[in-house]
Amino acid sequence: MKKFYLNLEKLLKATFSILILSLSSLTHADDNVEKNILYNDLIKEIRCMVCQNQNIAESEAPLAVDLREKVKELIANGKTEEEIKKFMTDRYSSFILYDPPRNRQNIFLWFGPLIFLLLITFFLYRKSAK
Amino acid sequence: MIAYIGYFLILLALLNISLLVVSKPLLYKNSDAYNNLVLSTSKLQFPIILLSFICLITSFVLDDFSLKYISSNSNSALPFYYKISATWAGHEGSMLLWCLILSLWMFLASVYSKSLDPSFRTIFLSIMGFLNIGFLAFLVFTSNPFERNVSIPIDGKDLNPLLQDFGLIIHPPMLYMGYVGLSVVFAFALTCCIKCDFKKEWAKWIRPWALMSWAFLTMGIALGSWWAYYELGWGGWWFWDPVENASFMPWLVTTALIHSLIICEQKSMFKNWTIILAIFAFALSILGTFLVRSGILISVHSFANDPARGAFILMFLVVILGLSFFLYFRNSSKMNDSFSFNLISKESFFLMNNILLITATFTILLGTIYPLILDLLGLEKISVGTPYYNAVFLPIMTPLVLLAGFIPIYAFFRHDNNSNLIKYFFLNMFLVLIFSLMSIYFTSNFNLFVFIGYLIFFWISFNLIFFVYKRYSDSKSLYFIRNNIGMLLAHLGLAIFVLGSTIVENNKIEKETIVKLGDTVEIKNYNFTFSGLREFEGPNYKSVRGEFLVKKNGLEETVLFPEKRLYFSSEMPMTEAGISPGFTRDLYITLGNMISDNSWSVRIYHKPLIRLIWLGAILMAIGAVLSIIFRKKAQSPYKATN
């Protein structure tokens, strides 16, 4: 199941990146700008573990300040988004990321809305056909 | 003394509304007398609670620290206007505000319900009365704002600095007007269940109430988002925080409701479905209160919580939902409801709208409570935030907003002659594509999402123009504008919101850097020069204020003053962003930490079109209000042909 999942994700990512690349090939951003964007996106996806539901971009708690520095450092060392996320979850569990892991435990979280959509559509339209 | 009067008045209000229950068995033979009693108690409730509320405000202004609630939420150094707004800044006071607003809605409902038949009206007002009893009991037994301190402190603790702000003065009353307004719709739907009937005219009567609550919810949510943007200091306008979600869920369901009510009124269909929506809309607003007040959620926005209160609200919610569904399943089959239509018809499109909105609501509910369930089961803790909603919520909303562009089709459905429909449709799509492609030229950072954003914006707005054109060419008069202006504005607001949010999320520029006095930071064609720094003292805080001279293309544009404040009452420093608002862009600076003398870490943001987010929301709310003002009073001529 997990393998199917990963393959599906890879396929979707590949399709999307081709689409986006082909559309955005007109503009090419330089390396520094891209690192800056990555930094600003990442600090919004990482949770400040000692605050009440704040990301580390928002929080001024010492931990958040440290983590921001850590993210900056990892990016400067050329780490990719996935590597930095893994670095964080390895140390602080997946609670630290606002992106819940795609695993068996969260299968209903990720697919629940789709199941709900199909069920309710089926139910309401069947009612109309009567 | 004033506080005693206030407390006495709350008890009086509870007694007054309890008359509904007590007198029912006594007056069961004399229904006229009972109807009158219900009417007068419903009207009396509002002035009583209003007086009690005024007592609480007065106690705040007079610094009566013998009250626990005041000593923990106010301070003698607090400016006058914040003393007033502190009345609803904490849990107890905001529950009193909640009860006040509930009684206000009940008062309005009793004044404007003369056209309903007397027995229906009595049941309807009694249900509102029961809700009143529930919330007043909650106030008196778990959250009494007039509770005394054992020993009177010399001074109060102070209002949470985050709440010392204009946005937070008006945000809670707006939001509560929306939440609680849904109680009118809920009570009405339940009465239909009890009466086993839902007449067309009734649908017409209830729609303005639903629209009004929706307008208040829209403004409440928009104000909350605006507040988060300028106050929390990281330039975000929506965080998918549980408390934000709690207000967004009833909004989505109410959006579905105001659409399905149109079908109820025009086609006499979807009655059962509409009743379910009304029940859920109100249930979700209570669930929101439960989640926020019980403390089972962690959120920046939840400022007061206590498990005992959570238990009470949860019980209340279970009772309300249990009774509603008992009544619904017992009586819904007896209701004269038809549910048959063509796959391509106004009914069908409105049903799709409803399905997508409900699925969106379900998604948010799932994202909000899934981590709680995992926690309860002792499984791995997770956080659900923006990445999840971007991946799951946006794909549901995209077809929904595209569907909003189908409005002109309804103009074609009015006539049998649909030969031009396909032609218009393709011409429109062609124009949308051309304009979206042209817009790429004006966009600095272009990607697929920006393109979809443009597409949606042009698709909805051009279709609105086509709608006006089609209706005008059919009727040769512009009178129809009067009836449709609300709808047109609200949908235009949606298009503008989509445009603003997509552009700002994909084209914002954010820079975090360290500056010394005299340094200049460059973003796009703007130069930010750190030109000064000084300390000063406010009424209840100390502040360091930076000065940034902003130049655009070398010409002086504006000066920004980001601040770092330390309130006397709190340890945590607060950031006050320096913002230069503008229609095309916002410039936003916050001071971080002092690195060394005169050297500070700062964040500088360039946010294009961010104002469109709130402009869109304002247009939606205005649209709703205009729909109420210009609602159809009499049957329109082509109804007969439908």
3-state secondary structure B45-95: HHHHHHHHHHHHHHHHHCCCCCEHHHHHHCCCCCCHHHHHHHHHCCHHHHH
B11-66: pLDDT as tens digits: 999 999 988 888 877 777 778 888 889 999 999 999 999 999 999 999 999 999 99
Nearest beta carbon to residue B379 from set A44, A57, A105: A105
Of the segments B128-132, B154-158, B617-621, which one has the largest average pLDDT value? B617-621
Band the pLDDT of A6: cuts 50, 70, 90.
low
pTM reported for the whole predicted model = 0.91
- For residues B314 and B249, membership in a common domain is answered with yes
Residues B84 and B148 grouped into a single domain: yes
Q: What is the 3-state secondary structure (H, E, C) of B87-121?
A: HHCCHHHHHHHHHHHHHHHHHHHHHCCCCCCHHHH
Q: A94 vs B236: CB contact, 8 Å cut-off?
A: no
What whole-number distance in Å separates Cα of residue B570 and Cα of residue B587? 29
Residue B340 scores a pLDDT above 80: no
How far, CA to CA in Å, does B561 sit from each of B43, B245, B523, B550, B569? 50, 32, 18, 11, 23
Assess contact for B425 and B462: CB atoms under 8 A: no
For residue B338, give the chain A residue with the closest CA.
A128
pLDDT tens digit string along A31-53?
777 888 889 889 999 998 887 78
- Give chain B positions within 8 Å (CB) of A113: 359, 362-363, 366, 392, 396
* Beta carbons of A52 and B396 less than 8 Å apart: no
Biggest distance spanned by C-alpha atoms of chain B: 85
User: How many angstroms separate the Cα of A111 from the Cα of each of A14, A86, B184, B242, B363?
Assistant: 21, 23, 35, 20, 10
Q: Give B638's pLDDT tier (boundaries 50, 70, 90).
A: very low
Query: CB of A17 within 8 Å of any CB in chain B?
Result: no
Closest CA to B579 of B612, B604, B545: B604
Q: Is A122 on the interface with B (CB under 8 A)?
A: no
Distance of residue B594 Cα from the nearest chain A Cα, in angstroms:
12
Q: In the predicted model, what is the mean pLDDT of residues B574-583?
A: 90
- Could you say which of A26, A106, A116 has the minimum Cβ distance to residue B382? A106
In chain A, residues 28-57 whose CB comes closer than 8 Å to chain B: 29, 36, 39-40, 44-45, 47, 51-55, 57
Q: What is the pLDDT of residue A26?
A: 46
Closest approach of chain B CAs to the CA of A40, in angstroms?
A: 7
> Is the domain of B117 the same as that of B155?
yes
The beta-carbon neighbor of B380 closest among A40, A98, A105 is A105
- Which pLDDT tens digit goes with each residue over B298-327? 555 554 556 677 788 888 889 999 999 999
Q: Kindly compute the dihedral angle of the four CA atoms of residues B230, B233, B237, B239, in this order, to the nearest 10 degrees.
A: -140
Using CB atoms and an 8 Å cut-off, which of residues 55-74 of chain A contact chain B?
A: 55, 57-58, 60, 65
Residue found under tokens 């009143």: B132
CB contact (8 A) between residue A52 and residue B300: yes
Does position B641 have pLDDT exceeding 60, yes or no? no
Ranges B343-347, B403-407, B624-628, most confident? B624-628
**Pairwise CA distance, residues B454 & B437, whole Å:** 9
CA–CA distance, B384 with B370 (Å, rounded to integer)? 8
Alpha carbons B564 and B576: distance in angstroms, whole number: 6
* pLDDT tens column, B135-160: 999 999 888 999 998 888 888 888 88
Q: For all residues of chain B together, what is the average pLDDT?
A: 88
Question: Both tokens of residue B39?
Answer: 């009417």
**In sequence order, what E strands does B597-632 have?**
599-608
Say yes or no: B344 and B212 in one domain: yes
Q: Do residue B423 and residue B356 come from a single domain?
A: no
Question: Given an 8 Å threshold on Cβ–Cβ distance, is A24 in contact with B512?
Answer: no
Which pLDDT value is given to residue B636?
Answer: 41
Q: Do A99 and B355 touch (CB under 8 A)?
A: no
Same domain, B356 and B419: no
B236: left (phi over 0), alpha (psi -120 to 50) or beta: beta
Same domain? For B241 and B273 the reply is: yes
| Residue B633 located in a structural domain | no
Whether A58 sits inside 8 A of B366 (CB atoms) is no
Domain boundary among B104, B130, B164: B164
Q: Is the pLDDT of residue A30 over 80?
A: no
The answer to whether position B620 is within a domain reads no
Boundary residue ending a domain (B455, B482, B501): B501
Tokens in use for B419?
């030969």
Q: What is the mean pLDDT of residues B505-534?
A: 90
Residue B67 counted as domain residue: yes
Number of domains observed in the structure of chain B: 4
Q: Which of B299, B231, B164, B87 is nearest to B569 (CA)?
A: B164
C-alpha A22 chain-centroid distance: 22
Q: What is the pLDDT of residues B217-248, one digit of tens each?
A: 999 999 999 998 998 888 889 989 888 899 99
Higher pLDDT among residues B574 and B642, named by residue: B574
Find the helix or strand (DSSP H, E) in which B476 lies: none
DSSP B390-456: HHHHHHHHHHHHHHGGGHHHHHHHTSS--TTHHHHHHHHHHHHHHHHHHHHTT-SS--HHHHHHHHH
Encoded amino acid at B488, one letter: L
Residue B26 placed within a domain: yes
Q: Given an 8 Å threshold on Cβ–Cβ distance, is B384 in contact with A98?
A: yes
Answer yes or no: do B447 and A24 touch at CB < 8 A. Answer: yes
B29 — phi, psi (to 5°)?
A: -85, -25
B-contacting residues in A 83-112 (Cβ below 8 Å): 93-101, 105-106, 108-110, 112
Q: From the list B240, B388, B448, which residue is nearest A100 (CB)?
A: B388
Nearest chain B residue to A54 by CA: give it.
Answer: B300
Rounded distance between C-alpha atoms, residue B104 and residue B506, angstroms: 43
> Which residues on A lie below 8 Å from B363 (Cβ)?
112-113, 116
* Residue B62 to chain A, least CA–CA distance (Å): 33
Amino acid at B29: K
Residues spanned by the domain of B50: 1-164
Beta strand segments in B320-402, E: none
pLDDT at B441: 80
Both tokens of A112, joined, read: 């629940």
In a domain, B306, yes or no: yes
How do residues B277-301 score in pLDDT, each as one tens digit?
999 999 999 888 777 776 666 555 5
For the record, the structure tokens of B101 come out as: 């607003």
Residue B293 included in any domain: yes
> Would you call A16 an interface residue with chain B, using a CB distance cutoff of 8 Å?
yes
Query: Nearest CA of chain B to the CA of A122: how many Å?
Result: 10
> What pLDDT is stored for residue B24 in this prediction?
78
Question: In Å, how far are B94, B179, B183, B246, B290 from B176, measured between CA atoms?
Answer: 9, 5, 11, 12, 14
CA distance B239 to A1: 32
A130 touches chain B (CB under 8 A): yes
**Shared-domain flag, residues B486 and B425:** yes
User: Taking CB atoms and an 8 Å limit, are A16 and B387 in contact across chains?
Assistant: no
Identify the pLDDT of residue B541. 87
Size of interface A-B (CB pairs under 8 A): 133
Element (H, E) at B150: none
**Average confidence (pLDDT) over B524-549:** 89
Identify whether residues B264 and B413 lie together within a single domain: no
pLDDT tens digits, one per residue of B421-452 = 778 888 888 999 999 888 888 777 778 889 99
The tokens describing B132, both together, are 């009143």
Average pLDDT over residues A76-85: 91
| One-letter identity of residue B123 | I
Q: Which two tokens stand for residue B219?
A: 């403004």
Between chains, do B381 and A94 touch, taking CB under 8 Å as contact? yes
Answer whether B575 sits within 8 Å of A60, measured CB to CB. Answer: yes
**pLDDT for position B415:** 67
Set of chain A residues whose Cβ sits within 8 Å of the Cβ of B374: 105
Q: What is the pLDDT of residues B264-276, one digit of tens each?
A: 888 888 888 999 9
- B635 has a pLDDT exceeding 60: no
| Domain end (from B164, B186, B219) | B164
CATH classification of A2-99 is 1.10.8.640, yes or no?
yes
CB contact under 8 A, A44 and B512: no
Instruction: State which residue of chain A sits closest to B384, comparing Cα positions.
Output: A98
From residue B317, give the alpha-carbon distance in Å to each of A109, B136, B173.
Answer: 24, 15, 22
Residues of B in contact with A40 (CB under 8 A): 510, 512
- Specify whether B445 is located in the same domain as B491: yes
Which phi and psi angles does A9 have, rounded to 5°? -65, -45
Both tokens assigned to B298: 């962690």
Percent of chain B with pLDDT over 90: 49
Query: How many Å lie between the alpha carbon of A21 and the closest alpha carbon of chain B?
Result: 8
Q: Residue B340 in 3-state DSSP?
A: coil
Count of residues in chain B: 642
- B297 contacts in A (CB within 8 Å)? 53
CA of B234 vs chain A CAs: smallest distance (Å):
5
B157 and B36, same structural domain? yes
Residue with more model confidence, B382 or B573: B382
Strand partners, B574: B565
Task: Identify the closest residue of chain A to B296 by CA–CA distance.
Answer: A52
The answer to whether the Cβ–Cβ distance between A117 and B302 falls below 8 Å is no
Query: Which residues is B602 bridged to in the sheet?
Result: B513, B591
Tell me if B592 and A60 make a contact (CB, 8 A cut-off): yes
Between A7-16, B386-395, B467-476, the lowest mean confidence (pLDDT) is in: A7-16
Please check whether residue B640 lies inside any domain of the structure: no
Question: In chain B, what residues touch A116 (CB-CB under 8 Å)?
Answer: 359, 362-363
- Per-residue pLDDT of B102-114, as tens digits, reads 999 999 999 998 8
Q: Within a domain: residue B622?
A: no
Query: B385 to chain A: which residues are within 8 Å by CB?
Result: 45, 47, 55, 98-99
B306 shares its domain with B363:
yes
pLDDT over 80 (residue A129): no
- Contact criterion met (CB below 8 Å) for B188 and B123: no
Nearest-by-CA chain A residue for B574 = A60
For B377-416, the pLDDT digits (tens) are 888 889 999 999 999 999 999 999 999 988 877 777 766 6
Which has the higher per-residue pLDDT, B549 or B89? B549
Residue B190 has pLDDT above 50, yes or no: yes
* Residue B235, helix vs strand vs coil: coil
